[in-house]
Amino acid sequence: MTAGKLITLEGGEGAGKSTVLAAVRELLAARGIDALITREPGGTPAGEEIRRVLLDTAHHGLCAEAELLLMFASRAQLVRERVRPALAAGRWVLSDRFTDASFAYQGGGRGQPVERIAELERWAADGLQPDLTLLLDLPVAEGMRRANGRGAADRIELETADFFERVRVAYRQRAAADPARFRVIDSSRPLAVVLADVHHAVGGFLDAAGVRA
Ligand code: T5A
- Is position 83 within any domain? yes
CA of 195 to the centre of ligand 1 (A): 16
- Is position 41 within any domain? yes
Give the position, in ligand 1's atom list, of the atom nearest the Cα of 102. 7
Residue of the CA atom closest to atom 38 of ligand 1:
14
- Is position 72 within any domain? yes
Q: What is the dihedral of CA 172, 110, 127, 34, to 10 degrees?
A: -60
- Is position 1 within any domain? no
Q: Is the CB of 197 under 6 A from ligand 1?
A: no
Q: Is the CB of 33 under 6 A from ligand 1?
A: no
Q: Is the CB of 187 under 6 A from ligand 1?
A: yes
Give the position, in ligand 1's atom list, of the atom nearest the Cα of 136. 32
- Tally of domains in the chain: 1
Instruction: Look up the CATH number of the domain holding residue 141.
Output: 3.40.50.300
Q: Is the CB of 156 under 6 A from ligand 1?
A: yes
Residue of the CA atom closest to atom 16 of ligand 1:
156
Average pLDDT per consecutive 10 residues, the chain (213 residues; last block may be shorter): 89 95 97 97 98 97 98 98 97 98 98 98 98 98 90 93 98 98 98 98 96 85
CA of 100 to the centre of ligand 1 (A): 14
> Which among 186, 187, 198 is positioned nearest to 23, based on CA atoms?
198
CA distances from 81 to 14, 42, 78, 107, 196 (A): 28, 12, 5, 26, 34
Query: Probe ligand 1: pick from 9, 18, 52, 164, max atoms within 8 Å of CB?
Result: 18
- Residues spanned by the domain of 36: 6-208
Residue 78: its pLDDT value, please? Answer: 98
- Is position 108 within any domain? yes
Q: Is the CB of 188 under 6 A from ligand 1?
A: no
Q: Is the pTM of this model over 0.75?
A: yes
Q: Is the CB of 40 under 6 A from ligand 1?
A: yes
- Is position 90 within any domain? yes
Residues 34/212, Cβ–Cβ less than 8 Å: no
Question: Helix 161-177 to helix 140-148 angle, to the nearest 10 degrees?
Answer: 120
Residue 148: its pLDDT value, please? Answer: 86
- Is position 213 within any domain? no
Q: What is the dihedral of CA 28, 187, 101, 211, to 10 degrees?
A: 20
